[in-house]
Chains A and B, each alone.
Chain A
Amino acid sequence: ILNVEQSPQSLHVQEGDSTNFTCSFPSSNFYALHWYRWETAKSPEALFVMTLNGDEKKKGRISATLNTKEGYSYLYIKGSQPEDSATYLCASYNAGNMLTFGGGTRLMVKP
């Protein structure tokens, strides 16, 4: 059974603060790492799919890095806004045709 872990579980920041959180995943038989942003009562929204060691991806104020050798990915949000409040999920594709999800980081941005 694969174990994907995210930390912290929850995070409260002030508007304008930059923040980051971590996803750790098994490095063996690794294929891809997916990040999603999930607001309550909405569909999880795909942010990034990352495959190569050293990958960096950016979407607006959100960026992510990938280290496949040590099995971790960081998600960064620059200048957090209240609309960034959501749960951020990572999911790893290792051997087997299935995504294994972490428990998510719940971000709350106070105005």
Chain B
Amino acid sequence: EPEVTQTPSHQVTQMGQEVILRCVPISNHLYFYWYRQILGQKVEFLVSFYNNEISEKSEIFDDQFSVERPDGSNFTLKIRSTKLEDSAMYFCASSDPGEGKQETQYFGPGTRLLVL
């Protein structure tokens, strides 16, 4: 069964460093998403991406964040200069464009980011 994959599973970085989190969505999906969960808090939406551009972003997704689909298979989240409060589990998800908000979003297993 097709699945969303994410690499790395864990990443430790120093404050101020740039990190790139990678995702391979399900191959025929056209909508891509990033979410995060800070330990002990709710899963929060960061950004959605369709047709090579951001379709929606939350207040969390400030200028320090960017997303890219560099080729036909990968979808990346870059954090330009990491802060301690960026430590979280980051989830990628993808969905078929069929029915919009009614479409199931398929999640990857997450990347645990720790900023020291």
Contact = CB atoms under 8 A, between A and B. Distances in A.
B104 interface: yes
Given A99-B45, A103-B42, A49 B104 contact: yes
Interface in A25-50: 31-32, 34, 36, 41-46, 49
B18 interface: no
Contact of A49 (B56, B102, B107, B109): B102
B56 A42 contact: no
A5 to B, nearest CB: 10
Contact of A51 (B4, B91, B102, B106): B102
Contacts of A93: 101
A103 B106 CA distance: 19
B108 interface: yes
Nearest to A36: B107
B3 interface: yes
B81 interface: no
A51 B106 CA distance: 18
Interface size class of B (residues with CB under 8 A): 20 to 34
Interface of A: 4, 31-32, 34, 36, 41-46, 49, 51, 89, 91, 93, 96-104
A49 B108 contact: no
Given A100-B45, A103-B42, A49 B103 contact: yes
Contact of A46 (B42, B44, B104): B104
Interface of B: 3-4, 35, 41-45, 48, 55-56, 58, 91, 100-110
Given A32-B102, A96-B56, A43 B45 contact: no
19 contacts: A32-B102, A34-B104, A34-B105, A43-B106, A43-B107, A43-B109, A44-B107, A45-B107, A46-B104, A46-B107, A49-B102, A49-B103, A97-B55, A97-B56, A97-B101, A98-B58, A99-B35, A101-B35, A101-B44
A28 B42 CA distance: 21
B104 to A, nearest CB: 4
